[in-house]
């Protein structure tokens, strides 16, 4: 399958810095996750890591995956710059069970995710 973000990943954060996700959205997820005793979260289309950063700042144990290796490279750099070490895996979110043996209290797919599928 084609990685639609291969080149775009390196410009993606021009839409907003990793720190810009700490407002009302953070409060919403924090309240929701506390109501449901969430401690571990997988962001299955983590892109450049904005939501991983947000959730880690709120105290959740996070992991990320993305189909795009380029997005994961940018996410790793962004998170490292924030002093965070977050496990990241290249994975098609339609096949999470093939890459993750772990279980999570919540799995999120936020903002958007595009996969150009193959026709049978």
Residue in this structure with the two tokens 């977050």, named with its chain if needed: 86
Bridge partners of 107, per DSSP, are 42
75-103 tens-digit pLDDT: 999 999 999 999 999 999 899 999 999 99
Chain centre distance of CA 31: 19
DSSP 31-96: HHHHHTT--EEEETT-TTSHHHHHHHHTT-EEEEEES-HHHHHHHHHHHHHTT----EEE--GGGH
119 belongs to a structural domain: no
* Domain-embedded: residue 4: no
Residues of the chain above pLDDT 70, percent: 74
Q: Is 13 contained in some domain? A: no
88-90/106-108 β-pairing: unpaired
Instruction: Say which residue, 65 or 11, is predicted with more confidence.
Output: 65
CATH number of residue 51's parent domain = 3.40.50.150
Q: Which two tokens stand for residue 35?
A: 């109501």
Does any domain span residue 5? no
User: Is pLDDT at 59 greater than 60 in this prediction?
Assistant: yes
Q: Looking at residue 55, what is its pLDDT? A: 96
State how far Cα 5 lies from the chain centre.
14
Number of domains in the chain: 1
Please give the Cα distance from 5 to 113 (Å, whole number).
10
Structural domain boundaries, residue 33: 20-108
Q: What is the mean pLDDT of residues 92-117?
A: 83
**CA–CA gap between residue 118 and residue 120 (Å, rounded):** 7
Establish if 88 belongs to a structural domain.
yes
pTM of the model: 0.80
């Amino acid at each position: 399958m084609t990685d639609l973000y291969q080149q775009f990943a390196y410009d993606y954060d021009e839409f907003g810095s990793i720190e810009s996700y700490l407002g009302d959205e953070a409060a919403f997820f924090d309240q929701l996750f506390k109501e449901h005793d969430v401690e571990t979260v997988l962001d299955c289309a983590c892109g450049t890591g904005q939501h991983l950063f947000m959730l880690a700042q709120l105290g959740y144990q996070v992991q990320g995956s993305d189909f795009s290796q380029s997005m994961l490279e940018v996410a790793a750099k962004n998170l490292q710059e924030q002093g965070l070490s977050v496990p990241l895996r290249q994975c098609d979110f339609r096949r999470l069970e093939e890459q993750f043996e772990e279980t999570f209290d919540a799995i999120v797919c936020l903002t958007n995710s595009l996969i150009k599928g193959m026709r049978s």
